[in-house]
Amino acid sequence: MNGVAPPTILFKLDLSTGSFSRIYTFTAVGSPFAPLVVDSAGNTYGVGDDGFVFKITPQGQEKLLYDLSKTTAGPGSGIAMDGAGNLYGHTYFGGTYNGGIIYKLTLEK
């Protein structure tokens, strides 16, 4: 190896056949910082190690939803999704005393 980490890949596993297919290779957004969440439509959401909150469709199209580095020092954990589809997470830094913030992202319907 030449000192470059291998890419992180999002894949889909078909339980009926045991086969898997690649959905997305992380390049434009950083590798996932923590576990990902998937909504009922099959969209995958996460936070990259670069601080971008992202969405990846089942067809492999990415959308950057928010850049945490604009307001904080980056992610502190992964994200959670509530029943209405809102995303929640926290950061290690930022806020009044630089102790981190808890954020909520409301997604467009």
Q: Is the C-alpha dihedral spanning 87, 92, 93, 98 positive or negative?
A: positive
Give the burial string for 49-78 (b: 16+ CB within 10 Å, else e).
ebbbbbbbeeeeebeebbebeeebebbbbb
Q: pLDDT, tens digit, for every residue of 16-50?
A: 999 989 988 887 556 787 889 999 999 999 988 78
7 contacts 26 by C-beta, under 8 angstroms: yes
Assessment of whether the complete model's pTM goes beyond 0.75: yes
Q: Which residue has the tokens 């980490």?
A: 5
**87-109 residue pLDDT tens:** 999 888 877 888 888 889 998 86
CA 32 to centroid of chain Cα atoms:
6
